Structure 1
Amino acid sequence: MSWYSVIYTRARHFKAQNYVLGTLVQASFYVCVLIELLILAFSSFVYYGITCQLIENDIQASLYMVVYGLLTFMMLWSYARVIFSSPMRVPKEYEMDEILDAKLRAVTPFNEQGRPMLDSSTEEQITTQRRIMDDFAAARGVVMVEVDQQGRLRYCYECRVLKPDRAHHCSSCGHCAVRFDHHCPYLNSCVAAHNYKFFVLFLLYLETWLIWNIISALQAIVHYFISYGANDRLDMILPLCCLTVLQFTSSIWPLGELLRYHWLLMSLNETTCEQAKIPNIRGDPKANYDIGRWKNIEIVMGWGLWLFPVRTSASDGLHHPINYVSPVGSDTTVRVTVATAESDGTRTSPTTTPLP
């Protein structure tokens, strides 16, 4: 569990005991968002009040203002969609009732802190756990391909749900998220299926915004030393130079590296969580979700309006196309195939296909 997950978890427990103070504590987690907005306001003040004033050509300065305003708008639009998009939780049909959950807990070992110790299960317990979860999935008509190393479907004992493929429990938010990527404390938001496109666009527009600031600032600095002496207007040149250095370093690392990393993840149809722990797909231990670069990107970005933070994803977050790698083995009994969305927007139902 990360350091910020510990803070989030303690805040939830505190809120359960004292709702008013706990709510205020959770609201304080937006302090990073507030600081980021203040930095943006200062950057805008420097850009309009100093950078554009040092550019002598009025038409060029006006054009720079328009481009800056457009980039700022798109960045803030994407930023707001990341933060305020409702989390896509696991649907009710994956949730076990209390009686069935109690049966599963009865055959699962727990440690002193109440956390399940699945690796300590006996063979008999594993068989019973697998049967309970398989029967529940069949009764609810839900199909999952991801299993653990013992062939069991993945179950969250905290949320009391079977985890759909690629879903994981976010310890910061306190619930399971569909196609979970990571929790970002600097946005105070869980990045998952519901807002991953918006997150990528936010990184893209923020990086473009920084580069535009740097290009404009360099031109303004050149004009300053042509028009003024080195010490004539220190109140203008010092804030501009300091901000330019900060923006330059941020555009390379961490922001530039983060954008490159998530572009790679999107082109491979992977998540940050899956980079740390490779999913185990039933029927083929080497199978993955990579169906080709452009199809992978379309799953996240949709069929059009890629550059706009509107919901266009081609995936419902619960069903995913699978790229089977290994040849069919005689020891494999079941392979689950999940159909991809067709161009007309329809989706075929998941099917279970017996292997020879």
Structure 2
Amino acid sequence: MSWYSVIYTKARHFRSQSPVLGTLLQWSFYVCVLIELLLYGGSSFVYFSITTQIIESDIQASIYLVVYGLLSFMMVWAYARVISSSPNRVPREYEFDEATDAKLRAVTPFNPQGRPMMDQCNETQVAAQRRIMDEFAAARGITLVEVDQHSRLRYCYECRVLKPDRTHHCSSCGFCAVRFDHHCPYLNSCVAAHNYKFFVLFLMYLVTWMIWNVVGGLQAIIVYFCTGYDRLDMIIPLCCLWVLQTASSIWPLGELLRYHWLLISLNETTCEQAKIPNIRGDPKANYDVGRWKNIEIVFGWGLWLFPVRTTTTDGLHHPINYVEPAADAAQFRVTGTAESDPTRSPTATTPLP
């Protein structure tokens, strides 16, 4: 559990004991968002008040400001969509009733803190757990492909839900998020299926905005020293901002953007990079169905550059690339081969319940 997950968990516990103060404490977690907005406002002030004074050409200054305004608008729009999008929680049909949950807990060992010890189950317990979860899934018409190392379906004892494929429990938010990627404390938001497109667009426009500031700021600095300005109150803030944004546009923000584009091209999540999903029927199977199809899964049918919801998937059912399918993989419907690479193995999708 990360350091901020510990803070979020303790805050939820405190809120259960003191609802009013606990709510105020959880709202205080938006302090990072406030700091980021203040930094954006300060950067905008420096850019507008100093750069436009130093660059003498009205046409050139206008071009800089128009592009700056467009990038700022798109960046703030995407930022607002990230933090305001409601989380995609697991649907009710995946939730265990109290009787079924009690039967599963009866065959599951727990540590003194009340956490299930799934790796310490004996063969009898594993068989009983597998039978209970398989029967529940069959009764609800649910088809899942991800299992744990003991071929059990994945169950969240805290949320009391059978986890859909690519779903993970966010310890910071306190619930299971569909197609979970990561929790970002700097946005005070869980990044998952509901806002992943907006998150990537925010990073893209933020890095582009910084690069544009670096270009305009560099010219302003050159003009300042070449024309004999003697205003330290102008050049010092400008140089400090230029160094900060030059470094940030390369690392960590530029590197973070590159990393997430790599994940998109492979149809992976940050969570799956740390723990490879175990897809039954093929130990080497993955969700990579070709670069362009992978991009379409995240960005949807069009308007890729705009932070509007265009996805055509529900986050619960995913195409699968079987590499060495076993006999039991035949229960999944084969949909063809990836268009981008004729040598790829056939892909299959989990059928809708």
Normalised to the residue count of structure 2, the TM-score between the two structures is: 0.94
Change (3 A) 1:139 1:339: farther
SS at match of 2:116: coil
Show the 5 A alignment for 1:43-192. 43-192=43-192
1:237 corresponds, among 235, 238, 258, to 235
Number of the residue aligned with 2:257:
259
CA distance in 2, matches of 1:90, 1:351: 15
Query: Deviations 1:228-277 (Å, cap 9, x if unpaired)?
Result: 24xx1001000000000000010110001000000000000000000000
SS at match of 1:169: strand
CA distance in 1, matches of 2:262, 2:157: 32
Aligned length, in residue pairs: 341
Query: Deviations 1:169-193 (Å, cap 9, x if unpaired)?
Result: 0000000000000000000000000
Question: C-alpha root-mean-square deviation of aligned residues, in Å?
Answer: 1.6
SS at match of 1:108: coil
Number of the residue aligned with 1:343:
none
CA distance in 2, matches of 1:33, 1:203: 15
CA distance in 2, matches of 1:199, 1:83: 9
8 Å contact from structure 1 (residues 204, 259) kept in 2: yes
Q: Does 1:336 align with 2:332?
A: yes
CA distance in 1, matches of 2:243, 2:132: 59
Number of the residue aligned with 1:344:
none
Change (3 A) 1:248 1:71: same
Normalised to the residue count of structure 1, the TM-score between the two structures is: 0.93
- The residue type paired with residue 155 of structure 1 is Y
1:316 corresponds, among 307, 314, 318, to 314
Cα displacement (A) at 1:222 = 1.2
Number of the residue aligned with 2:298:
300
Number of the residue aligned with 2:276:
278
Q: Does 1:210 align with 2:206?
A: no
% of aligned pairs identical?
A: 76
Cα displacement (A) at 1:315 = 1.7
In terms of mean alpha carbon deviation, does 60-69 or 262-271 score higher?
A: 60-69
- The residue type paired with residue 281 of structure 1 is I
Query: Deviations 1:137-168 (Å, cap 9, x if unpaired)?
Result: 01111111000111110000000000000000
SS at match of 1:56: coil
8 Å contact from structure 2 (residues 143, 350) kept in 1: no
Change (3 A) 1:166 1:337: farther
Change (3 A) 1:35 1:275: same
Query: Deviations 1:197-232 (Å, cap 9, x if unpaired)?
Result: 000000000000000000000111111112224xx1
2:246 corresponds, among 245, 248, 251, to 248
SS at match of 1:322: strand
Unaligned segments of structure 2, at least 5 residues: 337-348
- The residue type paired with residue 293 of structure 1 is R
SS at match of 1:176: strand
Unaligned segments of structure 1, at least 5 residues: 341-347
